[in-house]
């Protein structure tokens, strides 16, 4: 809502309160003033001039030579290029020395040999947006009414010396969608009176109800319809001050009748509609739901197809307006209109919202119905508009109004105790302070003991319950004045859950291992959603996506993480290590919440170690990622529960990918991105893993228990074996550990050779074995006995033998 500081003074005395000060006060007490616009930024020296003579410029077809009286001793010659300039007009003249927007200075000039002492201005040249300039002046200069006084300040006449407060209104404060509503608010803040606008008319002989009959078939959509009749109107421009106020509010002036309806919309917050009575073609207004498929051309000349969701105003047979949204071309006020039927009505906000949404017609009017208008301001708004039409369109207003009224307006009465107000706010207010606040708001309030009973005015439909009263007290008492305390009560201990704690451990560990945390979008494309999914399910699709790129919920994190790698690689960040934790979404059926599973994914590419001056460079490989995973599982106490098996995962390198198993079940995979995919994404060798973090973090870990440090030395024996190439080390290790138990404590691979010095299909693999006994030093014979057993088991189960 744009509020003119000058206009507001019609209703509230603002003496001693500047626009900026007012903005600050309004903001502090509840409505955010998002800005104060000074309309006239530096324009000066523009006066009303009278065009005394106009003739064609002798040397230029498109220019006019004008003699203009600007209130100086002598008229001045001005060259003007506007097509509509003419003798006898009152115009805005930027005199020599004047300043226009953009710090444009007017100087004496010669145009094609003719002297020009100033410039005749269009409204755009004075800083008014083209789209709100009246149509007839949009392509040329603006013409003032004939009574404008030559030599007076044109800026003031156009209200450009005003300041506009831009209110950011929350949905509950629809009452401030009108100048009067703002006036009540400002009056409460300043503790001043509200002056209401003039509406009094001379009684007329004829009655409005003799001219039209109102029938409402859908009273729940239209509880009140009131029509006033104004005869013998003369369509013409509205008074300059009204046009200026409309333009300041961002509304384009049209003609007196239409401007008055718009003016009342701003002043009262009540949308009105003026019909050309003679074009209605009947003496009836029938309000009903539209028929499905019914056609109707709105006054923007668009033919619309209606449904029974839409409420229409008809002449008894065909629609003449889409209720609360837009009038029809068939009954629009034109320059020939003589008799006006003025509608002031209450339409159901939800019905209006549906129609304005369906037809893409959000207007100032529909917005007000949607948010709710004051039911007690419907008739006064009509009266005020009729009064203005009598005054500024020469109309005769007929007596009364033709109406259908099924509206019951029950004032809202709320009682609250002082104790409750103070208990909720933490204040120590006394009753007189509370009562004074409601009086400033012009709420009727009565006190009985500790209880105050408040009747909220109908304009404040947001006041319904005790808490609403508390809010009124709080905001007018001032939040600055409320004390600062901390909640009292049990000193509960705040802490993270085990899951949350472990999630932080995972992040900290991965970052310590050199990975940066990324956060990507949950919404992705259908194609990407399916890639690398651990569980193949149909991705959940939005009903109305904004783009295909963000149309479904992800089933895996890797596709977006690979995008991150791609983005960075293209920007010279070739050595990259990133991870992400986030949810994936598994559908459970329509109208059932999906399963959300937290995943962890990582992607690494480029060099792992790079110590430039030592010439050390090691690219990332499978075992770097596996090492990171092993460290992670060790950190979480899951080493013994995790395993890796060679696996085929779509989009992954078939020879360099392993499934990650937890207690034997697959929870994820690790490996190299398939070279084909790498090429497609323009990536160098990229290694990734993705796993269900949820499965990992929910896995119970054993309680920490101290184990005695071995007091007796261990014995290490290394073995170099010749094994079949396809016998994986993991299998061999398991055999070794099993056969060597319980004296064998550890076994690890320390060498691997698969070169051409080996027999075809064989490899050399060396293990280091560590034997120990917790209670004594082992003897050589003891170890040898077990060691032999290990070798025998290896030979038996894999054919591996000691290398000769």
DSSP 656-668: EEEEEEETTEEEE
In whole angstroms, the minimum distance from the beta carbon of 339 to another protein comes to 36
Q: Using CB under 8 A, which of 293, 489, 615, 761 touches another protein?
A: 489
Toward another protein, which CB reaches closer, 693 or 772? 693
Q: Min. distance of Cβ 494 from another protein in angstroms?
A: 4
According to the binding rule CB under 8 A, does residue 437 interact with another protein?
no
**Which residues between 249 and 278 bind another protein (CB under 8 A)?**
none
Element (H, E) at 435: helix 431-440
Which positions ≥6 away from 118 have C-beta within 8 Å? 49, 68, 70, 76, 78, 93, 94, 95, 96, 98, 106
- 577 lines the binding site for another protein (CB under 8 A): yes
Q: For residues 327 and 329, what is the distance between their CA atoms, to the nearest angstrom? A: 7
Report the C-alpha gap between 651 and 672 in whole angstroms. 9
Q: Which residue has the tokens 């005695």?
A: 708
Does residue 241 interact with another protein by CB under 8 A? no
Q: How far is the CB of 55 from another protein (least distance, A)?
A: 51
How far, in Å, CA of 503 to CA of 694, rounded? 9
Is 492 one of the binding residues for another protein (CB under 8 A)? yes
For another protein, the closer CB: 298 or 524:
524
Q: Measure the N-to-C terminal CA separation of the chain; round to a whole number of Å.
A: 93
Q: How many residues bind another protein (CB under 8 A)?
A: 97
Using the rule CB under 8 A, which residue among 16, 113, 171, 615 binds another protein? 171
Of these, 336, 448, 591, 756, which contacts another protein (CB under 8 A)?
Answer: 591
CA distance 217 to 710: 94
- The residues facing 257 across adjacent strands are none
Give the nearer residue to another protein in terms of CB position, either 212 or 602: 602
Provide the mask over 514-553, with x wherever binding to another protein is found by CB under 8 A and - wherever it is not. Answer: xxxxxxxxxx----------------xxxxxxx---x--x
| Beta carbon of residue 672, minimum distance to another protein (angstroms, whole number) | 20
CB of 583 to another protein, least distance (A): 6
Give, in order, the Cα–Cα distances in Å from 663 to each of 3, 80, 638, 738. 69, 90, 9, 18
Q: Is 30 in the site for another protein (CB under 8 A)?
A: yes
Stretch that binds another protein, among 224-232, 406-414, 568-576, 753-761 (CB under 8 A): 568-576
Nearer of residues 613 and 706 to another protein, judged by Cβ: 613
> x/- contact string, 332-371, with another protein (CB under 8 A)?
-----------------xx--x----------------xx
What radius of gyration do the chain's Cα atoms show?
Answer: 42
Two structure tokens written together for 549:
């790129």
CA distance 174 to 181: 9
Least Å distance, CB 434 to another protein, is 14
Beta bridge partners of 105: 99
Of 393-401, 429-437, 504-512, 756-764, the segment contacting another protein by CB under 8 A is 504-512
User: Is residue 497 within the footprint of another protein (CB under 8 A)?
Assistant: yes
Work out whether 220 is an interface residue with another protein (CB under 8 A). no
Under the binding rule (CB under 8 A), the answer on residue 510 touching another protein is yes
Q: What is the dihedral of CA 389, 390, 391, 392, to 10 degrees?
A: 40
Closest to another protein by CB, 415 or 784? 415
Half-sphere exposure of 360 (CA within 13 A, CB side): 5
Q: Using the minimum distance from each CB to another protein, give the nearer residue, 228 or 554.
A: 554
Backbone angles phi, psi at 336, to 5 degrees: -95, 0
Residue whose CB is less far from another protein, 149 or 350: 350
Residue with smaller CB distance to another protein, 277 or 579: 579
Cis check: omega of the bond before 742, within 30 degrees of 0: yes
CB 690, min distance to another protein, A: 16
The answer to whether residues 760 and 724 touch, using CB atoms and an 8 Å cutoff, is no
596 touches another protein by CB under 8 A: yes
User: Is residue 590 near another protein by the rule CB under 8 A?
Assistant: yes
Torsion-angle region of 279 (φ positive above 0: left; ψ -120 to 50: alpha; else: beta)? alpha
Q: Is 423 in the site for another protein (CB under 8 A)?
A: yes
The strand pairing partners of 51, in sequence order, are 68
Q: Which of 84, 282, 427, 768 binds another protein (CB under 8 A)?
A: 427
Residue in the block written with tokens 């598994």: 586
Q: Which of 494, 755, 761, 804 binds another protein (CB under 8 A)?
A: 494
Instruction: Considering the complex, state which of residue 483 and residue 664 has its C-beta at the smaller distance from another protein.
Output: 483
The one segment of 229-237, 264-272, 573-581, 687-695 that binds another protein by CB under 8 A:
573-581
Q: Work out whether 102 is an interface residue with another protein (CB under 8 A).
A: no
The answer to whether residue 13 forms part of the interface with another protein (CB under 8 A) is: no
Contacts with another protein, 623-642, as mask; x by CB under 8 A: --------------------
Nearest approach, Cβ of residue 298 and another protein (Å):
23
To another protein, the closest distance from the beta carbon of 173 in angstroms equals: 7
The smaller minimum CB distance to another protein, of residues 169 and 247, is found at 169
Please tell me the distance from the alpha carbon of residue 534 to that of residue 67, in angstroms, as a whole number.
85
Q: What share of the chain is helix, strand, coil (3-state, %, to 5)?
A: 30, 30, 40
- Helices and strands in the chain, H and E counts: 21, 42
Stretch binding another protein (CB under 8 A), from 31-39, 48-56, 219-227, 660-668: 31-39
Q: Output 583 or 734, the one with its CB closest to another protein.
A: 583
Q: Which of 564, 719, 743, 747 binds another protein (CB under 8 A)?
A: 564
Q: Pick from 25, 28, 231, 440 the residue near another protein by CB under 8 A.
A: 28
Strands 576-586 and 516-517, by their bridges, are: parallel
Site for another protein in 684-723 (CB under 8 A): none
- The 8-class DSSP code of residue 103 comes to T
The span from the CA of 174 to the CA of 150, in Å, is 42
User: Which phi and psi angles does 7 have, rounded to 5°?
Assistant: -65, -40
Per-residue contact track with another protein, 447 to 486, x per CB under 8 A? ------------------xxxx-xx--xx---xx-xxxxx
**CB of residue 778 vs another protein: minimum separation in angstroms?**
39
- Among candidate residues 730, 733, 702, 705, the one with its CA nearest the CA of residue 638: 702
For residue 490, the minimal CB distance to another protein (Å) is 7
Beta strands in 39-190 (DSSP E): 44-56, 64-69, 76-80, 90-100, 104-105, 109-111, 114-116, 119-120, 143-144, 163-168
For residues 731 and 716, what is the distance between their CA atoms, to the nearest angstrom? 21
Question: Which CB atom, from 481 or from 701, has the smaller least distance to another protein?
Answer: 481
- Whose structure tokens read 């831009």? 166
Neighbours of 206 (CB within 10 A): 14
Contact pick of 72, 201, 299, 424 for another protein (by CB under 8 A):
424
Torsion angle of the four alpha carbons 745, 751, 752, 753, in this order, in degrees rounded to the nearest 10: -150
List 18, 170, 415, 777, residue binding another protein (CB under 8 A): 170
Of the candidates 62, 131, 536, 571, which one interacts with another protein according to CB under 8 A?
571
Piece of the chain touching another protein by CB under 8 A; list 204-212, 585-593, 681-689, 749-757:
585-593
Roughly what angle, to the nearest 10 degrees, separates helices 240-248 and 256-268?
Answer: 50
Q: Is the CB of residue 514 less than 8 Å from the CB of residue 609?
A: no
Q: How far is the CB of 444 from another protein (least distance, A)?
A: 21
Instruction: Establish if 433 lies at the interface with another protein (CB under 8 A).
Output: no
């Amino acid at each position: 809502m744009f509020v003119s500081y000058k206009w507001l003074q019609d209703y509230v005395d603002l003496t001693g309160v500047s626009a900026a000060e007012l903005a600050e006060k309004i903001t502090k007490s509840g409505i955010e003033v998002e800005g104060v616009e000074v309309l006239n930024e530096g324009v000066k020296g523009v006066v009303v001039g009278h065009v005394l003579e106009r003739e064609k410029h002798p040397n230029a077809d498109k220019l006019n030579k004008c003699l203009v009286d600007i209130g100086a001793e002598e008229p001045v010659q001005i060259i003007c290029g506007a097509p509509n300039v003419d003798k006898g007009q009152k115009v805005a003249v930027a005199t020599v020395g004047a300043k226009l927007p953009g710090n444009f200075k007017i100087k004496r000039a010669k145009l094609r040999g003719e002297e020009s002492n100033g410039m005749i201005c269009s409204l755009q040249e004075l800083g008014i947006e083209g789209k709100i300039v009246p149509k007839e002046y949009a392509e040329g200069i603006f013409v003032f009414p004939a009574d404008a006084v030559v030599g007076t300040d044109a800026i003031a006449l156009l209200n450009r010396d005003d300041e506009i407060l831009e209110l950011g209104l929350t949905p509950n404060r629809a009452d401030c969608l009108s100048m009067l509503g703002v006036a009540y608010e400002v009056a409460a803040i300043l503790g001043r009176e509200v002056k209401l606008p003039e509406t009094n008319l001379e009684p007329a002989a004829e009655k409005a109800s003799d001219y039209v009959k109102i029938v409402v078939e859908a009273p729940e959509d239209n509880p009140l319809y009131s029509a006033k009749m104004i005869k013998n109107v003369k369509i013409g421009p509205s008074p300059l001050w009204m046009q200026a106020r409309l333009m300041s509010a961002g509304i384009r002036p049209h003609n007196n009748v239409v401007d008055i309806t718009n003016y009342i919309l701003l002043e009262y917050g009540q949308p009105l509609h003026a019909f050309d009575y003679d074009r209605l073609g009947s003496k009836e207004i029938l309000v009903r739901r539209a028929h499905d498929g019914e056609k109707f051309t709105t006054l923007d000349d668009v033919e619309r197809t209606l449904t029974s969701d839409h409420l229409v105003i008809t002449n008894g047979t065909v629609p003449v307006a889409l209720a609360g949204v837009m009038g029809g071309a068939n009954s629009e006020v034109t320059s020939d209109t003589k008799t006006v039927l003025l509608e002031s009505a209450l339409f159901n906000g939800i019905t209006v919202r549906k129609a304005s949404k369906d037809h893409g017609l959000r207007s100032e009017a529909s917005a007000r119905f949607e948010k709710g208008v004051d039911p007690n301001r419907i008739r006064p708004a009509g009266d005020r508009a009729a009064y203005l039409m009598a005054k500024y369109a020469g109309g005769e207003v007929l007596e009364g109004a033709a109406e259908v009224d099924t509206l019951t307006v029950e004032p809202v009465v709320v009682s609250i105790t002082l104790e409750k107000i103070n208990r909720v706010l933490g204040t120590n207010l006394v009753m007189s302070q509370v009562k004074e606040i409601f009086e400033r708001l012009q709420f009727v309030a009565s006190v009985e003991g500790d209880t105050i009973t408040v009747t909220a005015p109908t304009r404040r439909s947001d006041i319904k319950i005790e808490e609403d009263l508390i809010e009124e007290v709080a905001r007018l008492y001032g939040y600055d004045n409320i004390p600062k305390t901390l909640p009292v009560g049990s000193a509960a201990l705040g802490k993270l859950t085990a899951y949350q704690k472990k999630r932080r451990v995972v992040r900290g560990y991965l970052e310590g291992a050199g990975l940066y945390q990324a956060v990507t979008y949950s919404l992705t494309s259908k194609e990407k959603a399916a890639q690398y999914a651990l569980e193949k399910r149909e991705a959940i699709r939005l009903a109305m996506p904004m783009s295909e790129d963000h149309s479904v919920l992800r089933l895996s994190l890797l596709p977006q993480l690979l995008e991150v790698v791609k983005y960075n690689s293209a920007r010279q960040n070739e050595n990259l290590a990133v991870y992400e934790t986030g949810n994936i979404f598994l559908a459970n059926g329509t109208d059932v919440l999906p399963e959300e599973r937290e995943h962890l994914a990582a992607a690494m590419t480029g060099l792992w170690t790079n110590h430039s001056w030592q010439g050390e460079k090691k690219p990332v490989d499978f075992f770097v990622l596996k090492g990171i995973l092993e460290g992670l599982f060790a950190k979480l106490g899951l080493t013994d529960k995790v395993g890796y098996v060679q696996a085929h995962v779509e989009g992954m390198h078939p020879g360099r990918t392993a499934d990650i198993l937890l207690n034997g079940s697959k929870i994820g995979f690790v490996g190299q991105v398939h070279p084909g995919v790498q090429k497609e994404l323009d990536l160098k060798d990229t290694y990734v893993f993705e796993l269900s973090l949820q499965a990992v973090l929910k896995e119970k870990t054993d309680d920490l228990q101290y184990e005695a440090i071995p007091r007796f030395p261990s014995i290490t024996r290394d073995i170099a074996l010749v094994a079949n190439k396809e016998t994986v080390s993991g299998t061999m290790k398991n055999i070794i550990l099993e056969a060597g138990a319980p004296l064998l404590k550890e076994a690890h691979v320390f060498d691997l050779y698969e070169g051409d010095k080996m027999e075809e299909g064989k490899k050399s693999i060396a293990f280091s074995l560590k034997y120990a006994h917790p209670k004594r030093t082992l003897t050589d014979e003891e170890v040898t006995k077990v060691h032999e057993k290990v070798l025998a088991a290896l030979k038996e189960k894999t054919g591996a033998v000691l290398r000769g």
